[in-house]
Structure 1
């Protein structure tokens, strides 16, 4: 049996499309059971699930527990009633394509030491979305997803994004993006769930894959399994908070796995970038250039600076 776990927050229509794709293209190699953890959505998600998908098991959280806490809630709920071969963590803004689930399961059967398997993610227009990674270095963290990324030395990010391997080439990697990741139940039982003490959202799958690999398992990328990912639809609803979560998680990952000094240097560098961006937006505001936009961005950057990324 394969357990499919979806954590959702205020993306009712995307969740409906995700569940519809699982109905149209189910796993055939194993029975599938779907669990949705709703993180206190206010958009009618629970009513939609009860009306349109009565076969889905629903865990209704009273508060938003984030991707990490919600996933752990779902994993514990699954463990109370079943022992699946694997659990597929799937974002609600994804849609599986024909044969995707069976391709993941076939990869798991072909590689008994695979603790985690990630599919090839696609944008809605059909282009490939980068989803396989090597573990980040300090320099990777400094450049990746910051305003310095366009000037990053090519070798730094090429290594991180595994650009030396073709997109259609199955391979072992260090970690895969958590929008869709198949985890062997035995690996989960061995290392435990996601680290919700350090990560509300972002970097939790990186940390989990690192722990799973440290326990002797492998992580694979399987491009025959394709999943469409609409990317960031929940977190995009709160942009300033998203920046805080993303960068705080990055710093906490480095503190956990590389020590306080690298984490402190990274925090200072990231805060310095946000201070620079705040000043740049302020200068544009003083010049009268799109003042409403500049003020909005200044407020967002100020919130990040006040957080201290801690």
Structure 2
């Protein structure tokens, strides 16, 4: 069994592989590198075989998205630690050593995220993960370094190692035995929010998720599905509701879901006022899809859920009403309330 496997999920991403795979090969001497291909119709597989013969290819039989794409590919990869890396990630020298050290020295740590900066503007954090993620009571995610549309400049303010609630799927390290224990990602999600769901399930089982700033990567973001795509809106809103049904504590379960759906309605109205009619429709479609499968997810709930899963009651209120747009402003507000 290898110590660590770097696994890059690919679908018709030959240009991304050409641009970003060289940095992974150059700076990942400790790892075995795989491309997990989701039945690409471009020249991805041949390109990798011809130009990077040291990289192994795992071929999935269809375009299964992020969740099932990784689940199927990892059945064929034997390593103590999986590094799941987007095809639009540039890694840096020694990016693996701090992660491996943490796994070796902290046996309870099951999942780790590095510092994720913006490839296009390297002084700033990147939207999808930044310096590690948290959620509020109603399941809205936010990050150290990114709260909704506000993205911070990296001034070293998050140069630490700390516990998180969720780690970004853009660059996601997990122990194989924990991945197997949790039965991988929820394949119904297809893509988006599946890493938060997996981290929540890991936390329910007593595992620790951490951030390690000594490991740095750069992420293009939106290279596979643009931020303004209505399909992404649909997946984010539907999967958030499914995640809540699966993982919320029993007490207050239905109230939290109902209130979250009300907030989704507000978001839909906001899209309408902005002329983004396709996004409003995507939210309606997400709710209808949720209604159709919510009973199935209620039956899948585990016996135990952690009670204190959220950092703040409503990041929506703090951001849009209180105008607290920076993570540390929100954190300081929480500390003042506690004191």
In the superposition, the TM-score normalised over structure 2's length comes to 0.72
Q: Secondary structure at the residue paired with 1:183? A: strand
Q: State the distance in 1 between where 2:5 and 2:91 align.
A: 15
Aligned to 1:193, which of 178, 184, 188? 184
Q: What residue number does 2:47 align with?
A: 48
Structure 2 CA distance for partners of 1:211 and 1:306, relative to 1, 3 Å: closer
Q: State the distance in 2 between where 1:214 and 1:237 align.
A: 30
Q: What residue number does 1:126 align with?
A: 122
Q: State the distance in 2 between where 1:69 and 1:255 align.
A: 20
Q: What residue number does 2:267 align with?
A: 273
Q: Secondary structure at the residue paired with 1:166? A: coil
Cα deviation digits, residues 181-225 of structure 1 (max 9, x gap): 11112222322211113x111111111112222222211111000
Residues paired across the two proteins, number: 273
Alignment RMSD: 2.9
Q: What residue number does 1:57 align with?
A: 56
Contact 1:27–1:99 (CA under 8 A) maintained in structure 2: no
CA deviation after TM superposition for structure 1 residue 280, in Å: 4.3
Q: What are the within-5 Å matches in structure 2 for residues 63-82 of structure 1? A: 63-78=62-77, 82=78
Q: What residue number does 2:160 align with?
A: 169
Q: What residue number does 2:326 align with?
A: none
Unaligned ranges ≥5, structure 2: 291-339
Structure 2 CA distance for partners of 1:93 and 1:149, relative to 1, 3 Å: closer
In the superposition, the TM-score normalised over structure 1's length comes to 0.78
CA deviation after TM superposition for structure 1 residue 4, in Å: 1.3
Unaligned ranges ≥5, structure 1: 151-156, 282-296
Q: What are the within-5 Å matches in structure 2 for residues 287-298 of structure 1? A: 297-298=276-277
Aligned to 2:85, which of 64, 70, 90? 90
1:180 aligns with 2:159: no
Contact 1:113–1:218 (CA under 8 A) maintained in structure 2: yes
Contact 1:191–1:211 (CA under 8 A) maintained in structure 2: yes
Structure 2 CA distance for partners of 1:62 and 1:191, relative to 1, 3 Å: closer
Contact 1:278–1:302 (CA under 8 A) maintained in structure 2: no
Structure 2 CA distance for partners of 1:103 and 1:237, relative to 1, 3 Å: same
Q: What are the within-5 Å matches in structure 2 for residues 227-238 of structure 1? A: 227-236=217-226
Q: State the distance in 2 between where 1:244 and 1:59 align.
A: 29
Q: Secondary structure at the residue paired with 1:120? A: strand
CA deviation after TM superposition for structure 1 residue 166, in Å: 3.4
Tell which deviates more after alignment, 266-275 or 178-187.
Answer: 266-275
Contact 2:197–2:243 (CA under 8 A) maintained in structure 1: yes
